[in-house]
Chains A and B, each alone.
Chain A
Amino acid sequence: MSDSSAKITLQQPALSELFLGFAQVSVSSFGGALPWARRMIVEQRKWMSAEEFNETFSLSQFLPGPNLINFCVVFGSRFGGALGAVVALAGLLGPPLIIVTMLAVIYAHYGDVAMLSRILGGIASAAAGLLMASVAKMTEPLFRKRWNFAPLVAIAGFICVALVQWPLPWVFVILAPVSIALAWITMRKSQ
């Protein structure tokens, strides 16, 4: 997609836009919020370039806790300090908390989620496809960089988790230092 071209003018979100942006992400994100966050921030509102989004998201993933919530805090604080983080978080968590509480009440009364889970089954298939498209878009900046080790690391991570089925946290903890060391060596060499 053309959104990965580096020559776009980036916008600065105001506090109210931070809230609305993340609220928009939260109410549309079925089956994982990452594709929706990227769509809103990189493609629609142009608050970050594709590279910046990757860097900020990878930092959030490295920190303990839910990825997207970490991302929301890092993003919000970068554009609006502590207040920005709180506002973005309120946007991300507020609407789903209300919706999930209503669903919990309905569940307590009827206790039948069979129909809902059939619908969910279909959405889960689509959500996996949406995530694939997002990863493909996110990978594009990687091939423009001089860090030639990067595609190899990405492929190694994919194989360990998807095919060999090692636990994701372990793969992360082992692969991250290796990858950082490779990045460091590549940087030294190129200087």
Chain B
Amino acid sequence: MNSNPLYALFGYFALLSLFAVGGANAAIPEMHRVAVDVMHWMTDRQFADMFAIAQISPGPNVIVVTLIGYHVAGLAGAAVATVGMCGPTCCMAFFVARVWDRFKDAPWRTAIQAGLVPVSLGLIAASAFVLARAADHTILAGLITAGTAIVTYFTRVNPLWVFLVAGLAGLSGML
């Protein structure tokens, strides 16, 4: 584990990804524990900043592993951490999708799918609720959440415009 950090990065993120059922955000606390407390790759503050950078940049939030890898071992570290986090689970998803499509009309597949959809929807709704609770500390922030929900549900306005307004409100310090 001390010889070459690239092996540790790859092995650790590959292992972590296999246990990240229900999304990468569920794996963030474990990532923090290993990067800060176990491996001493970075300080608490640096981890928090990296998480913020990953959230500020567009794209999947899992990209925080790229930043951790970059911090530990430069560009090679960034590549290795990203491949470790996404590679094994992508391969698994690919083969499951193959099998899945082959059994298109099997009754067990229909049952699994019909069973998974409502669970999935309940959990996404819960994520939205948890996100709102974490983000909204003022009445105005709550109004932005409610307003965005209403505007994007009932109109076809590009949500980026709403995000622009919300970002400016945040920048002004009103929230």
Contact = CB atoms under 8 A, between A and B. Distances in A.
Interface in B115-146: 115-132, 134-136, 141-142, 144-146
Interface string A51-72: 0001101111111111111100
Contact of B89 (A35, A69, A157): A69
B155 to A, nearest CB: 9
Interface in A23-56: 26-36, 39, 43, 54-55
10 contacts: A29-B59, A61-B123, A74-B96, A117-B56, A121-B141, A128-B145, A130-B149, A142-B118, A161-B127, A186-B114
B55 interface: yes
A100 B59 contact: yes
Contact of A33 (B56, B60, B118): B60
A73 B94 contact: yes
Given A65-B20, A158-B122, A60 B59 contact: no
B111 A180 contact: yes
B23 A168 contact: yes
A172 to B, nearest CB: 5
B22 A169 contact: yes
Given A129-B146, A187-B114, A29 B58 contact: yes
Interface string A88-114: 010011011101110110010001010
A154 interface: yes
Contacts of B6: none
Contacts of B146: 129
Given A27-B58, A60-B93, A126-B144, A34 B124 contact: yes
